[in-house]
Each structure stands twice: as structure tokens, then as C-alpha cells.
Structure 1
Amino acid sequence: MIASNDRNFRKRAASFEVHDLSLIIGDLSEGGAQRVVCNLASAWVHAGRRVAVVTLAGPQRDFFQLDPGVTRIALDVAGRSAGPVLGLLANLRRVRALRQVLRQIASPVAVAFAGSTNVLTVLAAWGLGTRLVISERNDPAKQSLGRPWNFLRKFLYRRADLVTANSHAALDTLSSYVPRELLAHVPNPVVFPTPLPSRVVEPLILNVGRLHEQKAQDVLMTAFAEVADEVPGWRLEILGTGGLDTELRKQITALQLSDRVLMVGQVDPWPHYARAAVFALPSRFEGTPNSLLEAMSFGIPPIVSNTAGGALEYVEHGVNGLVVPVDDAEALAAAMRELVNDSEFRERLGLAARDRVAACSMESALMAWEATLQLPSVQPRSQEVANNATT
């Protein structure tokens, strides 16, 4: 790994070999976009490609680990600024540092992931001759980056060579300021363990995601409180970290659910999927959440909100899951009650959920990404692309 605060950074950057493609993201902390970057980088390295992952943040924020064959460049230029002037200067430094690295890597294709990093990458790559692809992870109509970033997103995305999204709802929003011919739908590459861990189902409702207003865990706990007395023995587990940790823990105490709701933190979700009977994702907006596809692959029936974007492209109400109105704790409680009390219905939906995501393999998603990015074919170094990807 190379960090831009390394004294020999300029010398070492100048000696980089040319890479086939570079992936740019803010950090490698816990998150869906970060997991996608790691999975893609690992799969492409094992397919024989030279891949660089560039992060604005330093390695101290890492949750995911990259394959050793991936070149990691941590610019260590992320962080908050005290006021708009200092913020502008900090962003200019980020653009300059990123441009220097992109020039040295000289990859013919660069893919930027998520929010303000996309905007900064458009500016950094301007005029370098790199084919620049933007990967939008949420519906911009639902996810505001703040007024300056929203304006720059609308103005600069059209300067990219291609803008991708993992939901058709996001593409519809993007089409209002990006020409349709520059838009493409590309699915999430999801790595499923082979074989999947054995299922030993417990009376457990599971939620996986950042502790953020977007994910509506506050509504989830309110809904669980409504049914808790009716379903003794059932528990709620929430996997993830984020800024609402303290607030959500206070809500658990206020609802007197300390013995029924567990805040697990940042952990490997696979053992929890193997035990869960219901998956609840009442998000206020979504792209296509990896956690949903992972849960469905285990045959866990999901409950999602009717504003969950790409999730609604996979969940059909009453067929392979349940869809409830957003921010409606009573409707969410009713859906929980229905699944908890009817094991046959729960199993039928779970089997249909597993069938729905059977085609969402790393191999099929990787083919879609390579076709979209117009990557030339290579001689694979390993046939175990999916098995060697980050999980």
C-alpha cells in the first residue's frame, strides 16, 4: 500500500506500472459500495488484470481488506473542514492529489464510486484521456449530498464517459441531467459463500446496514416493540455501525427492549444470515442493497419499504417477500406479525426469495461490468473468481 503522506510518495508514484483499470472511492470502511469495490478488484485481479484501488481516506478507516494482488493507494486527504473556505481548499488538494495518481497509474479505464468522490474524480480526470465511469450507488432524488455537491453532480456527471446505477429508479433520475446514451444499468456483484453455511433457523429478525437515518432502524425498533409481547422468544438483531448508535441504544432502553434487541456492531454477517427467520430492511431509500441479496440467497423472506429503490426490483409483495409503506411502523409490525406467526408462509416466501437471486452471482455481474466498461478479454490466472473475492 502507498499513502500520499509517505515522503517518497512522488518517487514511488512515478514508478507505478500501467494498470488496466483503477477504482476510486472515499474509503474502505463498512458499506455496500466499499464491498462492491473490493469484490470487483479481487475478481479482476484473479482474472489476470492489473487493478489499482485509490481511496481518499487513509488505511485507518478500513474495514474491508483488499486482495494482495491489488495495488492500494491511500491518499489520506479525507476529513471534515471548518468552514466553506477551508472546505474548498481541502477539495482542491484532493483533486490535485487524485489527478497526480491517475496520471501516474495511466489506466485506460477509471471507475469512481459514490457521492462526492464521483464529483472530485470527474474534475481530477479531466483531460487525462482516461475513460471515466461513474458508479452511482443510490437514487440521487432520494440522497442529497448537500446543495453545492448536488449542483456539481448535475453539472459534471455529463462530462463522464458513462454513468452507471444499480437500480432503474436511479437511472430515471439521472436521465434528467445525463444523456440517456451515457447511462447504463449494472448489477451489484455479490459473492455468496460456497457452500452456504448450514441453516439453523432461530426466532430472529435481522437487519444489516449502517446506523443511519436512511436505514430507518428507528422505525424498525418501534415496530418490533408493537409485536414483542405477542411473540415471546423472538429477538431483533441489528448489524452495523454509524452515527445513530447512541440514539438507537437510547431508543432500545426507552422501549424496554434491552433483553430483546441486540446491537451487534460491525461483524461478518454470514453466521447471522444462517440463523435468521426474517430479514427487515425498512429503508427510506436504497440503491440495490447487498445485504438484501445476501439474505435472500439464504432463503430468508425480506420485508422492505415501498421506497427502497432497487430492492423493489427483487422483492415482489406476497411472492418472495413483503412490501410496506415507508415510515409506517404499524404496517411494518403487521408484516412482522404475519411472517412470525405463519411458518408455512414464511418458508414459501423464503424459497421464492432464494430462487429470485440465484442468478445474482459474481460471474454474471462481472460479465455485465466488463461489457459496460468495454474491457478486453484476458487469460485468467485463476478459475476461482467468485471464491477468491472479498466476502
Structure 2
Amino acid sequence: MRILFVISTLRAGGAERVASVLANALSNAHEISLLRFDDAKPFYEINQNVKLMSLEYGVSDFGLIGNLKKRFSKILALRNVINGGKFDAVISFMDSTNLLVLAASTWLKTPIFISEHSYCKFLSLKWRILKRIFYPLATGLSVLTKEDLEYYKFVKNTKIIYNPMNFVPSNLSQPKENLIIFVGRLIEPKGCDIFLSSLKLLQNELKGWKIAILGDGDERVNLQKTAQNINLDIEFCGMVQNIDEFYKKAKILALSSRFEGLGNAFIEAIFYDVLRVATPTSGAKELIKDGFDGLISSDFEPESFAKKLKEALNLDANLTQNARVRQSEFDIKTIQNQWVDFIQKAKK
């Protein structure tokens, strides 16, 4: 098949990683093109088999009128690419890109598949209306959780397809350290402030532990100021390429998002025997059974999260062992086969 992937950028991010990994995997048996709006160097490795394309529009803000003009230009450029490429399918990632691709493909015969990575319950009224109008135009829609599947029942072909794990970790025999990691963008929805506030409540229990914050974002400066008032070994590492080295050492992964679809960290930790402690997001409830293969706080307050972190310090090995059972669900071969099957069935 000739398949076109479309995503706004290929910078660091969960959806960007999924698009890159899936395009790489499918390129071994299919003709894959990967289109993004800017021309920045991809953060994730792209196989030589994948034809990398750019609309060269970037993501700069040009004001209300300028942004409208840019969107119309993107739609026209996308339409030319889709119409001229003779693709068997187009797979689009993320809210705004999905809408642009659907608008650009109106009255074209190319099957359009959209991949949803936002949690449905936190959509604004604007996004609810736009998706209700445009998403039914898609040939198929992939979602990440059962809650999203139920919400998007107004789309004719909808399927849960998890994010893939693209490699099997090696050298896991090294001993774990007293290390807790937070993985995610340092923005308000990811809730790193909840994590730091919970640490402040556990300063005595966490003596001798290290905490590594893996990620960057607009809230980094404020979060670093908060961390200065906590008497613990907390390091802000920024975006890291060698994240597997942190997973190998870590005993606990803290996922304190205010809302989360299906973060890649939920999946990655399973393969490194890292105990997952999470707030009760849709993604956490999809991938963790509290007390069986991880821990989920009762609400999004620091006090509740601190209670689960304290429980995690006992490091019950059964929790990580039980989590291993689901590894095959995220194998890249499993996920790519699900996508091929989804495309072929939805096109009939």
C-alpha cells in the first residue's frame, strides 16, 4: 500500500513518536510518506525507507488574520499532496491536523484515517463542535481508551489501537537505584506541580532517594523554583535521548497528569519493571489496575498522590511482574498489523 502520514511537527512528543515509529515499521512492507508542516529536523529517527516531506509552513503565530490565511494555505497544499499522491490511505495525527486533513480531502476519494490522542472529556466546546462536524467524514478513527471509543461513536469506523513500543530493552540485569522519574512535558496538564507537592509531603520518607524530571516546557522555571523549597535530590534533566538509561535505573515512575489519553510512559515502564504510580486519568485507568499492576491515586490532589507514592516505596515486586503480562499488546508488530487490518476493513 501507498500510505501518507500527516502530523504538524516531528518534535519531541508522544504522538510524534507514535507517528515516527509506525511509519518506520510499515515502511518495511509498504510505500510510506511522512508529511509535516515545518522543515525542522525530526527529534525521532526516521528510516531511509520513509519519504520525508514538508509543507514548510512552520508553527509560528501570525495573529488572527495571518493564522486564518495560513490555515487556508495549508488546506490547499494538503489537498494537492493528497490528490496528487495516489495514496491508498492517509493517516493523520492530532486534533488540529486531523481537521485540516479532513477539510483538505473533501470530495476526494482517498480514504482518510485519523488518530486521536486527546482525552475526550477535556475537549473545549469549540473542539467538540468541530469534531462533531468533521470527524464523521473520516474513513476510520483510532482512539486510545474505552472512554474515547464510547464518546466517538458518531464516527462510523472507530477502533482502539494502542501506542506501540518500538524496541525491547536490553541489559535489564543491572540493579535498580532509589530513583523516581517523572516523564512528560512540563506544562500545566501534565501535573508536575502535583508530583512536586506530593514530594514535599514525603520529605522524610524519601531521604536517600533521587528524583529525575525528564522533559521540558513552559512551566520549567516555575517548577524549578518550587523544587528549591523541597529538601530532596531533584534534578531537571530536560528532554533526553537516552531515556532508557533512566528507566533501567528507576524503581518508580510518577505520572501525575491532570488529564492524559494514553501516555507512552505508561507503556514503556512495563518493559523496564518500573512501578507506575498515577493520577486517575483515562490512560491510567486503561492500563493500570490499582493494586495489581500499578497504583492509582483516588483523586488529583497532592495528598492522595503522596499516599500512593508512600505505598510504592515498599516496592512490591508483584506489581511490576503482573504488569509484564500486557507487554505483547504494545509490540510494534501487533500494532502495525492492527493498522493494516483496520485500513483494509474500513475501506471495504
Do the structures match in fold with TM over 0.5?
A: yes
Q: How high is the TM-score relative to the length of structure 1?
A: 0.84
Residue identity in the other structure for 2:129: F
Q: How high is the TM-score relative to the length of structure 2?
A: 0.94
Name the stretch that deviates more: 354-363 or 67-76: 354-363
Name the stretch that deviates more: 98-107 or 148-157: 148-157
Q: Distance in 1 between matches of 2:187 and 2:58?
A: 20
Equivalences for 1:76-115 in 2 at 5 Å?
76-115=56-95
Q: Distance in 2 between matches of 1:231 and 1:92?
A: 53
Q: Distance in 2 between matches of 1:82 and 1:134?
A: 27
Partner residue of 1:195 out of 139, 151, 170: 170
2:40 is aligned with 1:59? yes
Structure 1 residues 199, 125: closer, same or farther in 2, change over 3 A? farther
Paired position in structure 2 for 1:32: 14
Q: Structure 2: any 5+ residue segments left out of the alignment? A: none
3-state SS of 2:34 partner: strand
Report Cα offsets for 1:137-170 as digits up to 9, x if no partner.
12222244xx554432221011111111011111
Q: Distance in 2 between matches of 1:199 and 1:293?
A: 21
Residue identity in the other structure for 1:210: R
Partner residue of 1:287 out of 247, 253, 261: 261
Q: Distance in 2 between matches of 1:359 and 1:110?
A: 24
Paired position in structure 1 for 2:223: 248
Paired position in structure 1 for 2:26: 44
Paired position in structure 1 for 2:308: 335
3-state SS of 1:81 partner: coil
| Aligned residue pair count | 345
Residue identity in the other structure for 2:260: E
Higher relative contact order (CA 8 A, sep 6+): 1
CA drift of 1:128 comes to 2.1
Paired position in structure 2 for 1:165: 143
Name the stretch that deviates more: 317-326 or 356-365: 356-365
Q: Distance in 2 between matches of 1:121 and 1:21?
A: 14
2:303 is aligned with 1:325? no
Q: Structure 1: any 5+ residue segments left out of the alignment? A: 1-18, 377-391
Q: Is the 8 A contact 1:196 1:298 kept in 2?
A: no
Residue identity in the other structure for 1:64: Y
Equivalences for 1:339-378 in 2 at 5 Å?
339-340=312-313, 342-343=314-315, 345=316, 347-374=317-344
Identity between Structure 1 and Structure 2 (%): 26
Q: Distance in 2 between matches of 1:107 and 1:173?
A: 29
2:283 is aligned with 1:313? no
Residue identity in the other structure for 2:327: V
3-state SS of 2:26 partner: helix
Q: Distance in 2 between matches of 1:190 and 1:38?
A: 12
Paired position in structure 1 for 2:118: 138
Q: Distance in 2 between matches of 1:311 and 1:338?
A: 17
